[in-house]
Amino acid sequence: MASQKRIAKELTECTSSPPTGVTVFLPKDSDLHRWHAILDGPENTVYQGGKFGLVISLPTDYPFKAPTITFATRIYHPNITNDSLGNICLGLLKPENWKPSTRLLSVLEAVRALLVEPLPDDPLEARIADEYRSDRKEFEKTARNYVQRYAKGPPKFDSSENSSTAHEGDDKKGGSGSGTGGS
Amino acid sequence: MDSDDDFISNMSSEEDMLPDDSDNDMSNYEDYGFDDEPDAYSDSQKETGHGKKVAYDFSFKVYQPSDIQKQQDDLINEVNMILDISKEEAAILLRYFRWNKERLIEDYMDRPGQVLDAAGLSQSAAGPPKIQVIPGFVCDICCEDEPGLESFALKCGHRYCVDCYRHYLSQKIREEGEAARIQCPSEGCTLIIDARSLDLLVPQDLTDRYHELLHRTYVEDKETLKWCPAPDCQNAVECAVKKKDLDRVVPTVSCLCGHRFCFGCILNDHQPAPCELVKKWLKKCADDSETANWISANTKECPKCNSTIEKNGGCNHMTCRKCKHEFCWMCMGLWSEHGTSWYNCNRYEEKSGMEARDAQARSRVSLERYLHYYNRYANHEQSARLDKDIFHKTEKKMVQLQKESGMSWIEVQYLNSASQALQTCRQTLMWTYAFAFYLARNNLTEIFEDNQKDLEMAVEALSEMFERPITELADPKLKVEIMDKTTYCNKRRVILLEDTAQNLAEGKWTFNVEFSGSAANGGPSTRR
């Protein structure tokens, strides 16, 4: 299958030379269509110091259909739903904008850029977007609180694979692979 | 302001505005009007036309698929010749400019490079599109690199293997219904794929779909064109009535297929009520807010468990069937507190009690008003359906009638005309009630109600004759009566519609709801 070759190649790219502040890995027992990533909160932002788990799902029709990316870690952000689903609004991933030649590398960079600069004019959480525009102090306070509450320590990828925080290798957390343990 | 001037003042005022889409459309319309032969416009309807140019007149024209194709081809050929660009490019440019030829030519003359870039056409000249095998090529989408891999690139040079290109295009066309604006698959490249390249790449069934979608964008891109909404009808209707005119005119058009619809909102003919009121009315009828209204007018809630209770008679001593709470229907207080004055609630005249009563009364009055209009509206809607049913039965009887009375097929057609008249008149009557619901009283409403009454009586009389048994229908006297009544009904309908339309165009109606346009203020009509 054509897409397998492309996905394998992209995975190699993403793991060997990952985008800044992002670690990509394949969870245990997963096929090539489901990736996990850990995004370090970018410096000089309210998310600094947080570690955010991302779930990347590649549709069977990838790369002709856009991948979906969700935050496994709760985050306070105008463009990310403030719930356990963690859906992202990213123009790049909308069907009418998606191009099959777009690489996940640039998608991940776009997600990171969204944390550096939220887009309150295209919000998923209208209330948070309003606050971001009108009461930046309050927004920053809550966002930092969320980081303290949810984004400290190894991210949990709550999914069918039972919290596969276990990932070994070259990430900065060094031996945090114990995880919460599956049943 | 004279209503004739109204449109003219509108047109000139457009020029003050920034050059936006509506401006272009107006120039389109003018252009169309002057270029075509004068009789190109079919007169809209007997009832509003009469060939005179009046404020509530509007003309429209029906196009069949071949006409639409020809219009597109003509425009493409013209641009192709004037600007000396290929037909594919002309087509893409025209679509980019939403088929506004004048603006395209003007803009292109001024700054061709920018226009081409914006429309997704890069400038480098190249031969016809072709599929190539390039040694050492790796497809950036599927990452295949086997030797002999066929590949394709648009002028931008972003080259992908033919399989990926096909997959990409078929997904865009089949799943996303995209046609006029499919871009090169490369990230960030806005070059639009042209028809010839597409034909080269995808199988026949898909190119057919592609051309169908392209064909559609022509109609969808132009504000003056709309598809006939009737099922399986492929015609489009052209009408110059704009969105902002809809507070002044109810542009009912009729397609060649026989379907009559409003050009403004695509719903079935709803003259005399303007689109905005129709929308409000339909929403009101669909909402269960009216149910709520009824409930508030006729019921109270148990003060303890909040169950809704309708009092169906008896005394004021209520016992909730659900929670067994005992209370007084009058003051809603505990029954036990009433002491010995059992059947005479002494708290009745308290302020809170009076307020509650007033609220209930008001609610009841407004409900009754709504129901008055709604019942008549619904009744005509239903009757129109029944008339239609009867007609289907009568159709068979017409054959029978021919045999029995010896009349020819032509001679029994009067039944057909009667049925048609019944349905259009009932359709109109139906909407007069929705219209009347929103109408605030002034001296014009009386005339309106008289017209409404006349039409209604005529329609009911015709309806009654129409339902007579077949044996009676054979009577030549009844036939003449039916024919006369049919003509009368149609005439009354025209009178009613002309009267309402003229007042609407002149802004003389006042409404009891917010209505865009000055009409709602009741003041003299000045637009914008």
For residue A162, is it within any domain?
no
Three-state DSSP class for A135?
coil
The Cα–Cα gap between B176 and B324 comes to 60
For residue A172, is it within any domain?
no
For residue A39, the cross-strand partners are A22, A52
Q: Which tokens go with B246?
A: 């809809």
For residue A30, is it within any domain?
yes
Percent over 90 (pLDDT), chain B:
10
For residue A155, is it within any domain?
no
**CA distances in angstroms from B470 to A88, B181, B403, B479, B480, listed in the order given:** 70, 60, 12, 11, 15
The Cα–Cα gap between A113 and A53 comes to 16
The Cα–Cα gap between B260 and B248 comes to 19
Please determine, for residue B517, whether its predicted confidence score (pLDDT) is greater than 50: no
Count how many Cα atoms sit within 13 Å of the Cα of residue B360 in the half-sphere of its side chain: 13
Closest C-alpha among B379, B390, B374 to residue B464: B390
**Binary contact (B141, A96; C-beta < 8 A):** no
Please determine, for residue B280, whether its predicted confidence score (pLDDT) is greater than 90: no
Q: Which residue intervals of B233-350 are DSSP H helices? A: 275-286, 289-298
Closest residue on chain B to A92 (Cα): B187
- Domain of residue A88 covers 2-150
Please determine, for residue B518, whether its predicted confidence score (pLDDT) is greater than 60: no
Question: Per the structure, how many domains does chain A have?
Answer: 1
Count how many Cα atoms sit within 13 Å of the Cα of residue B127 in the half-sphere of its side chain: 3
Output the pLDDT for position B429.
92
Output the pLDDT for position B36.
37
For residue A171, is it within any domain?
no
For residue A50, is it within any domain?
yes
Count how many Cα atoms sit within 13 Å of the Cα of residue A37 in the half-sphere of its side chain: 30
Closest C-alpha among A3, A20, A178 to residue A108: A20
* Cβ of residue A96 closer than 8 Å to a chain B Cβ: yes
Q: Which is higher by pLDDT, B372 or A29?
A: B372
Output the pLDDT for position B351.
58
Q: Which residue intervals of chain A are DSSP H helices? A: 2-16, 104-116, 126-134, 136-150
Closest C-alpha among A10, A38, A39, A35 to residue A114: A39
Task: Enumerate the active-site residues of B.
Answer: 315
Q: What is the pLDDT of residues B55-79, one digit of tens each?
A: 455 788 999 888 988 998 999 999 9
For residue A54, is it within any domain?
yes
Nearest-by-Cβ selection for B187 from A5, A61, A101: A101
Contact B496, B428 (CB under 8 A): yes
The Cα–Cα gap between A10 and A12 comes to 5
Pick the most confident of A105-109, B210-214, B522-526.
Answer: A105-109
Q: What is the pLDDT of residues B465-510, one digit of tens each?
A: 888 887 787 788 888 999 999 999 999 999 999 988 888 888 888 8
Q: Which tokens go with B260?
A: 């009559």
Output the pLDDT for position B38.
37
Instruction: Give the mean model confidence (pLDDT) for residues B273-300.
Output: 77
Three-state DSSP class for B114?
helix
Nearest-by-Cβ selection for B143 from A6, A102, A106: A6
The Cα–Cα gap between B24 and B101 comes to 10
Please determine, for residue B42, whether its predicted confidence score (pLDDT) is greater than 50: no
Q: Which residue intervals of B406-506 are DSSP H helices? A: 413-438, 443-466, 470-473, 476-505
Q: Which domains does chain B have, with CATH numbers?
A: 3-64+233-269 (no CATH), 124-202 (3.30.40.10), 302-349 (no CATH), 363-521 (1.20.120.1750)
Min Cα–Cα distance to chain A from B458, Å: 56
Output the pLDDT for position B432.
92
Set of chain B residues whose Cβ sits within 8 Å of the Cβ of A5: 142-144
Chains A and B form CB pairs within 8 A to the count of 47
Q: What is the pLDDT of residues B297-346, one digit of tens each?
A: 677 777 777 677 777 665 667 777 777 777 777 777 777 766 555 445 65
The Cα–Cα gap between B518 and B361 comes to 32
Output the pLDDT for position A137.
92
For residue A165, is it within any domain?
no
Least confident of A73-77, A107-111, A154-158: A154-158
Three-state DSSP class for A22?
strand
Task: Enumerate the active-site residues of A.
Answer: 89
Closest residue on chain B to A102 (Cα): B187
For residue B319, the cross-strand partners are B326
Contact A32, A11 (CB under 8 A): yes
CATH of residue A41's domain is: 3.10.110.10
**Binary contact (B142, A9; C-beta < 8 A):** no
Min Cα–Cα distance to chain A from B141, Å: 5
Instruction: List Cβ neighbours of B120 (8 Å cut-off, separation of 6 or more).
Output: B92, B96, B181, B183, B190, B191, B192
The Cα–Cα gap between B463 and B480 comes to 15
**Binary contact (A100, B168; C-beta < 8 A):** yes
Q: What is the pLDDT of residues B229-276, one digit of tens each?
A: 888 888 999 988 888 888 888 888 989 988 889 988 888 888 889 888
Instruction: Please identify among residues 145-174 of chain B the ones whose CB lies closer than 8 Å to any CB of chain A.
Output: 158, 160, 163-164, 167-168, 171
Pick the most confident of B31-40, B103-112, B412-421.
Answer: B103-112
Q: What is the pLDDT of residues A14-57, one digit of tens each?
A: 888 888 888 888 887 778 888 899 999 998 899 998 999 999 99
Instruction: Please identify among residues 21-80 of chain A the ones whose CB lies closer than 8 Å to any CB of chain B.
Output: 61, 63-65
